[in-house]
Amino acid sequence: MPGGYKDRIIRVDLTKPRVSIELPKEEHKRKFLGGSGLAAKILYDELDPKTDPLSPENKLVFMTGPLTGTLAPGFGRFVIASKSPLTGIWGEAGSAGYWGPELKFAGYDGMILEGRAEEPCYLWINDEDVELKDAKHLWGKDTVETEAIVRSELRESKSRILIIGQAGERLAKIACIVTDGGVAGRCGLGTVMGSKNLKAIAVRGSGRVEVEDEARFHDLVGEIHSIMNNDPRTKSLKSYGSAGSMEGNEAVGDVPIKNWMVGSWPDGARKLSGQQMARTILKRPVTCFACPIACKREVEIKSGPYAGVKGKGPEYETMASFGTMLLIDDIEVVAKANDLCTRYGIDTISCGSAIAFTYECYEKGLLTKEDVRGLDLSWGNHDSLLRMIEMIGQREGIGSVLGDGVKTASEKIGKDASEFAMHVKGLEMPMHDPRAYRSLALGYATSNRGACYLQATSHWVERGMLFPELGIKERPDRFTSEGKARMVIDMQNFMAIVDSLIICKFALSCGYTLTHLLGLVEYVTGYSISIDEFKMMGERIFNLKRLFNNRLGVSRKDDRLPERINKPSPEEGTKHSSPDLGLMLSEYYRLRAWDEEGRPKADKIGELEL
Amino acid sequence: MKVYVKLLGDLREALGKERLEIELQSHSELKWLIEDRLLGYEGLRDHLIDPRTNRMRTDLIILINDRSVEGSTESERVRDGDIITLAPAIAGG
Ligand code: SF4
């Protein structure tokens, strides 16, 4: 067995209930590596395309990568994948923290959950022992309470726990899975867990991850550490977290403001920045397994209306979702909103987008005060934001509609509401504006999970972060659409590998090179992979997810953006122009060897050995 | 001539100041302003210079007035009264 892998995958059939252990195929490891790639292979092979995402037949796959649990910096992540109830297509979400490494220490690469438990339960993985435990007393409790109870019941203070909140139990389709490193937020995977009557998954392991060539691995890790420690991004992320980028992002028109209607709000951005947090509510930076960066925030509000908020602090995406998107510039309100979402188990991006959508419907007269239980949804209103999060978590009133995401909500509200629903393929857009970085338009339109910048992070390149080993040696003009397809493809393929290894993208951005990654893979697993093979692997994984979606009917008609993004934003940051998606898409399909409907051609499928 | 430099995010925190007024005698190149004048301010160097190449970072956010400077700074010039906004390299999201 190569180092890195545990060569054991747990399969839990919650209906029977039955636990079995399976061996991942050697060929699959070589072709899909692990993480997101291996999860895609499992779901592609096992899932009937007609499966209802909330039925017992849907599967939830948890997967680590070959490097998870080693001391290589930033490799604490794991991925969760399923057919998404929010979008009806490929769904995946990842999280850093400690759960993934702990699963490896317990002796497993991953887990496949299927079926539905008759009654609420939680799963306890303690090395060899995998057992289902009663969770009737936990149903209805928030994630913070649940964690404390599970920990004390198991008498295992060092266990690592994934939990859903009330939103997942009540099948709100924007429910997330809360982890010790944050959340696996996107695509409603907490809803899938809720549909299976599974409240939590606790894991404790006493083993370690074997490394093939300890000496060379150790040297390379030392070299990477020294590069990261000298990189200003490391210092920035540690001092200010991801929201440290807020002001710079705002200055170039990248931050969505007022549900994507406004292009500039410097005062708001400053008040919502990581620098402001460091001066006010930051208690301490928090890190993930084997990561020197510590970009996570722990916050505490000691006085005022939100006194008592204590724990996970908002990241950049959350700061924009509840801040700039709603014209709210009070960092304490955003911290409170974040805390509510953590407790209820709601994805903050989808939640902020759904609420901003509602504020706009209210402004434009599509919703009245009576429709929203007397709330005043004027832009900037704090109290209504917090109340609406509770309504989503409890599936109450308009919250019940919003909990299924903006696409469904806009269809239910009707009239012109779809114009304000900012999503791609049903997934609410994250907080980076394609009008500021043209490549994001193509990335959002073609990302396999719906609107997502992390599947390509191509705006890094338009911002001057170069990847010479991928052939990306020059910073392209961020306002041009021409020639962007090649770069987006290269970055998507690369990120497919990154999500399969799995390394945190923030850590990646602090000095890692492709050569470092190849070296780590070789020293840990013994697999010697060339850059070309690596790229091909990424292309294979990306295309496999596309095939998964094609099978569900996804085609060119779905590779589109909300109309609002096709019009220039009024401020200078986005240069009074908008992306030419049609042009980029045609070039993209051609370079990907997809047909005009956006399906990989037979030759390409053969070449990629799919 | 005189230009104003507005520092955002980490740069402002590093210097403890948001705005600088800089007199330029003979030079009007943006590159010179950054590499010669701004590097003289303690704390800014780490943010402006790439430790691997020892050259100016390729990923700074630079705006002259409200126009963002994309790509090379080689040919960019500044004029009397310009406000040059600088923000650090992307970190995270
Ligand atoms: S960079 Fe941040 S999110 Fe990523 S592993 Fe490190 S601490 Fe965790």
The rounded Å distance from CA A455 to ligand 1 centre is: 17
Name the band, by pLDDT with cuts 50, 70 and 90, for residue B74: confident
- Interface confidence, given as ipTM, is 0.94
Least confident of A238-242, A272-276, B64-68: B64-68
Say whether B92 and A572 touch across the interface (CB within 8 A): no
| Residues 221-250 (A) with a CB less than 8 A from some CB of B | 227, 230-233, 235-237, 239-242, 244-248
DSSP code per residue over A319-350: HHHHTGGGT---HHHHHHHHHHHHHHTB-HHH
Q: What pLDDT digit, counting tens, does each position of A61-111 carry?
A: 999 999 999 999 999 999 999 999 999 999 999 999 999 999 999 999 999
Pocket test residue of A75, A225, A242, A295 for ligand 1, highest count of atoms within 8 A of CB: A295
Report CA-CA distances (Å) from B56 to A91, A467, B15, B44. 40, 17, 18, 12
The pLDDT score that the predictor gives to residue A571 is: 62
Instruction: Identify which has the larger pLDDT, B52 or A426.
Output: A426
Of the candidates A233, A252, A316, the beta carbon closest to that of B68 is on A252
Locus of tokens 């005189």: B2
Percent of chain A with pLDDT over 70: 98
The pLDDT score that the predictor gives to residue B46 is: 83
* Start and end residues for every CATH 3.60.9.10 domain found in chain A: 9-204
Whether residue A289 has pLDDT greater than 60: yes
Which residue of chain A comes nearest to B44, CA vs CA? A232
The pLDDT score that the predictor gives to residue B53 is: 81
The rounded Å distance from CA A14 to ligand 1 centre is: 32
The pLDDT score that the predictor gives to residue A374 is: 96
The pLDDT score that the predictor gives to residue A573 is: 58
Percent of chain A with pLDDT over 90: 94
Strands across the sheet with A121-126, in order?
A: A129-134, A121-126, A198-204, A160-163, A177-179, A182-184
| 3-state SS, residue A602 | helix
Q: From the alpha carbon of A182, which atom of ligand 1 is closest?
A: 3
Query: CA-CA distance, A101 to A80, in Å (whole number)?
Result: 14
- The CATH number of the structural domain formed by A240-423 is 1.10.569.10
Of the candidates A315, A466, A478, the beta carbon closest to that of B70 is on A478
Average pLDDT over residues A236-244: 95
| Residues 435-464 (A) with a CB less than 8 A from some CB of B | 459-460, 463-464
Report CA-CA distances (Å) from A443 to A389, A541, A581, B73. 29, 16, 10, 27
Say yes or no: B9 contacts chain A, CB-CB below 8 A. Answer: yes
Whether residue A241 has pLDDT greater than 80: yes
Burial category of A128 from C-beta neighbours within 10 Å (exposed 0-12, middle 13-18, buried 19 and up): exposed
Average pLDDT over residues A443-453: 97
Q: What pLDDT digit, counting tens, does each position of A154-194 carry?
A: 999 899 999 999 999 999 999 999 998 789 999 999 999 99
Do A354 and A337 form a contact (C-beta atoms < 8 A)?
Answer: no
Name the band, by pLDDT with cuts 50, 70 and 90, for residue A259: very high
- The CATH number of the structural domain formed by A9-204 is 3.60.9.10
Q: How many CB atoms lie within 10 A of CB A448?
A: 25
Contacts of B60 in chain A (CB under 8 A): 464
Query: CA-CA distance, B85 to B66, in Å (whole number)?
Result: 8
The pLDDT score that the predictor gives to residue A337 is: 98
Query: CA-CA distance, A216 to A523, in Å (whole number)?
Result: 7
Which residues form the pocket of ligand 1, taking CB atoms under 6 Å from any ligand atom? A 74, 76, 96, 287-288, 291, 293-296, 504, 506-507
Of the candidates B46, B61, B67, the beta carbon closest to that of A248 is on B61
Query: CA-CA distance, B50 to A233, in Å (whole number)?
Result: 11
Query: CA-CA distance, A475 to A458, in Å (whole number)?
Result: 11
Q: What are phi and psi of A227, to 5 degrees?
A: -65, -45
Least confident of A182-186, A228-232, B54-58: B54-58
Query: CA-CA distance, A408 to A402, in Å (whole number)?
Result: 8
Q: Are strands A198-204 and A121-126 parallel, antiparallel or unpaired?
A: parallel
* Start and end residues for every CATH 1.10.599.10 domain found in chain A: 438-607
- The CATH number of the structural domain formed by B2-88 is 3.10.20.30
Contacts of B51 in chain A (CB under 8 A): 230-231
Of the candidates B66, B70, B87, the beta carbon closest to that of A248 is on B87
Say yes or no: B56 contacts chain A, CB-CB below 8 A. Answer: no
Average pLDDT over residues A214-236: 94
Average pLDDT over chain A reads 96
Whether residue B68 has pLDDT greater than 90: no
| Residues 15-44 (B) with a CB less than 8 A from some CB of A | none
Whether residue B39 has pLDDT greater than 90: no
Whether residue A512 has pLDDT greater than 90: yes
The pLDDT score that the predictor gives to residue A178 is: 97
Q: What pLDDT digit, counting tens, does each position of A1-20 carry?
A: 679 999 999 999 999 999 99
Residues with Cβ within 8 Å of A279's Cβ and at least 6 positions away in sequence, in order, are: none
Whether residue A284 has pLDDT greater than 90: yes
Of the candidates B66, B85, B90, the beta carbon closest to that of A463 is on B90
Helix locations, A345-483, DSSP H: 348-363, 382-394, 398-402, 406-413, 438-446, 458-462
Instruction: Identify which has the larger pLDDT, A54 or B49.
Output: A54
Average pLDDT over residues A267-276: 97
The rounded Å distance from CA A95 to ligand 1 centre is: 9
Say yes or no: A515 contacts chain B, CB-CB below 8 A. Answer: no
Q: Is the dihedral of CA A91, A95, A101, A103 positive or negative?
A: negative
The pLDDT score that the predictor gives to residue B73 is: 76
Query: CA-CA distance, A348 to A360, in Å (whole number)?
Result: 18
Report CA-CA distances (Å) from A558 to A419, A451, A550, A554, B73. 16, 11, 10, 6, 39
Locus of tokens 């004048």: B37
Whether residue B7 has pLDDT greater than 60: yes
Burial category of A261 from C-beta neighbours within 10 Å (exposed 0-12, middle 13-18, buried 19 and up): middle
Q: Are strands A296-300 and A282-286 parallel, antiparallel or unpaired?
A: antiparallel
Whether residue A572 has pLDDT greater than 80: no
Mutate to test the interface with A, among B5, B6, B10, B45 (most CBs of A within 10 A): B10
Report CA-CA distances (Å) from A442 to A91, A506, A555. 19, 22, 14
Q: Is the dihedral of CA A161, A166, A168, A169 positive or negative?
A: positive
Name the band, by pLDDT with cuts 50, 70 and 90, for residue A570: low
- The CATH number of the structural domain formed by A438-607 is 1.10.599.10
Whether residue A261 has pLDDT greater than 90: yes
Name the band, by pLDDT with cuts 50, 70 and 90, for residue A579: confident
The rounded Å distance from CA A498 to ligand 1 centre is: 14
Whether residue B52 has pLDDT greater than 80: no
Chain A to chain B, count of Cβ pairs less than 8 Å apart? 114
Say whether B89 and A232 touch across the interface (CB within 8 A): yes
Region class of A598: left (phi > 0), else alpha (psi between -120 and 50), else beta? left
Q: From the alpha carbon of A294, which atom of ligand 1 is closest?
A: 7
Pocket test residue of A317, A499, A506 for ligand 1, highest count of atoms within 8 A of CB: A506
Q: From the alpha carbon of A291, which atom of ligand 1 is closest?
A: 6
Q: What pLDDT digit, counting tens, does each position of A317-346 carry?
A: 999 999 999 999 999 999 999 999 999 999
pTM for the whole structure: 0.97
Do A76 and A292 form a contact (C-beta atoms < 8 A)?
Answer: no
| Residues 289-348 (A) with a CB less than 8 A from some CB of B | 295, 315-317
Do A187 and A91 form a contact (C-beta atoms < 8 A)?
Answer: yes
Report CA-CA distances (Å) from A183 to A164, A178, A268, A329. 10, 4, 26, 24
DSSP code per residue over A197-264: TEEEEEEE-------S-HHHHHHHHHHHHHHHHH-HHHHHHHHH-GGGGHHHHHHTT-S-BTTTTB--
Mutate to test the interface with B, among A186, A463, A491, A503 (most CBs of B within 10 A): A463
Average pLDDT over residues A365-372: 95
Whether residue A606 has pLDDT greater than 80: yes
Name the band, by pLDDT with cuts 50, 70 and 90, for residue B40: confident
